[in-house]
Structure 1
Amino acid sequence: MENFWFYINMGLNHVLDFNAYDHILFLSALAIPFTFKSWKKVLVLATVFTITHCLSLMLSVFDIVVMDVGLIEFLIPVTIFLTAIFNIVYLKRLQGQTNILLHALATAFFGLIHGFGFSNYFKMLIAGEDEKITPLLGFATGIEISQLIIVMAVLLVAYAVQNLGRIKQPNFVLVASIIVLLITIPLLYQTFPW
């Protein structure tokens, strides 16, 4: 059980590490178009991301799929960029009017990419472990907890800005998504593999 807690902690640290802020940035972009009224949708998206993130880790740990690290490092900021663009393009379909199926499919695909980005480091960490499922489950639990913390924080900031600052939701989504885009552009440049 101590081993399980170690991997939960590692999952928490993986997502909440401000030095590797790409995960936080992606989750922020994912949560920007939503409000507390639609918290269940955000929870579903965060869980889809966790599941596919851990699926790619599992595929990598068991050497079923091996990905080019340079390409994955570039695709991670691409996923953030595309999520922010998606927010801007679909401004007219905010909240209850949106079906999250497209969001969920994109989130699942992006979760796979983000998982492969961490897979080499994770494989190195569990190299001495005989049993690999417990570390994966512990890590997934830590990721899910930390992602919920981040999306709830984004929803709280959105609530404060929109209600206390009297900013309309479409304006908030537009400005917040543009900020994410501006932060992501240097990441795209730094990780461009060709």
Structure 2
Amino acid sequence: MTDFWIFFKFGLEHVLDLNGYDHLLFLVVLTVPYTGKDWKRILLLVSLFTLGHTLSLFLAVLNIVRVQPTLIEFLIPITILLTALYNLATAGKSKPKENLTFIGGITLFFGLIHGLGFSNYFKDLLPGEAPDKMLPMLAFALGIEAAQLIIVLVVLLLSFVFLTLFRFSKREFILVFSAIVLGIILPLLAQNPIWEP
């Protein structure tokens, strides 16, 4: 059971580590369009992201999937960029319920990409045969989910503060936070090694 908590804590730290803030930025742009009353939808989206993240780790650890790290390091900020741009394009517009299938599918796919970004490092942490790797991977996934829920709660709290105390409209809140994330991610994309000859 000690190994379980070690990998659970590792999953928590993976998301909450400010040095690897790409996961954090994605969660921010995923969450800012919603408020506390949308908690079921947010929980579903975050869980789909975790599922994608875990599935790609699983496939990589078992050597079923191998992807060039340089490509993944480029695609991760692209997922953040696309989500932020989607927020900017749809801010203030009602999001019909039928969009959940589309948004959920994209979130799951983006989770796959983010998981692949961590897969090489994670694969080195797990010695032994495939069955020996299942419990640590489950613990890691649960740690990721717990950390993501912490981030979501922080974003929802910020939303509440900005919408009620500072009298931002929901549209303004979405635009401001999505623009901040864009301001962080665009220089990272511009400096990405994929552009080097």
Say whether the fold is shared (TM-score over 0.5): yes
Identity among equivalent positions (%) equals: 50
- Structure 1 CA distance, aligned partners of 2:82 and 2:128? 37
In structure 1, the residue matched to 2:80 is 80
In structure 2, the residue matched to 1:172 is 173
Does 2:32 align with 1:32?
yes
SS of 2:3's equivalent? helix
In structure 1, the residue matched to 2:151 is 150
In structure 1, the residue matched to 2:132 is 131
- Structure 1 CA distance, aligned partners of 2:142 and 2:80? 22
2:114 maps to a residue whose letter is H
Q: Is the 8 A contact 1:35 1:95 kept in 2?
A: no
Does 2:106 align with 1:106?
yes
Q: Is the 8 A contact 1:87 1:173 kept in 2?
A: yes
1:28 maps to a residue whose letter is V
Q: How does 1:9-88 map to 2 (within 5 A)?
A: 9-88=9-88
Change (3 A) 1:183 1:91: same
Q: 1:190 deviation in Å? A: 2.4
In structure 2, the residue matched to 1:118 is 118
1:134 maps to a residue whose letter is L
Q: 1:173 deviation in Å? A: 0.5
TM-score (norm 2): 0.94
Unmatched segments (≥5 aa) in structure 1: none
More displaced, 123-132 or 96-105?
96-105
Q: Is the 8 A contact 1:33 1:95 kept in 2?
A: no
- Structure 2 CA distance, aligned partners of 1:3 and 1:98? 41
- Structure 1 CA distance, aligned partners of 2:194 and 2:16? 26
Q: Is the 8 A contact 2:49 2:110 kept in 1?
A: yes
- Structure 1 CA distance, aligned partners of 2:188 and 2:176? 19
- Aligned-residue RMSD, C-alpha: 1.5
In structure 2, the residue matched to 1:159 is 160
Q: Is the 8 A contact 2:15 2:147 kept in 1?
A: yes
2:5 maps to a residue whose letter is W
- Structure 2 CA distance, aligned partners of 1:28 and 1:98? 22
Q: Is the 8 A contact 2:92 2:170 kept in 1?
A: no
In structure 1, the residue matched to 2:192 is 191
Q: 1:147 deviation in Å? A: 0.2
Q: Is the 8 A contact 1:33 1:94 kept in 2?
A: no
Structure 1, residues 138-162: CA drift from partner, whole Å, max 9, x if none?
0000000000000110011011001
Q: 1:14 deviation in Å? A: 0.3
- Structure 1 CA distance, aligned partners of 2:127 and 2:83? 34
Q: 1:49 deviation in Å? A: 0.3
> How many matched pairs?
194
More displaced, 112-121 or 92-101?
92-101
Runs of 4+ in structure 1 over 2 Å off = 92-99, 127-130
More displaced, 113-122 or 130-139?
130-139
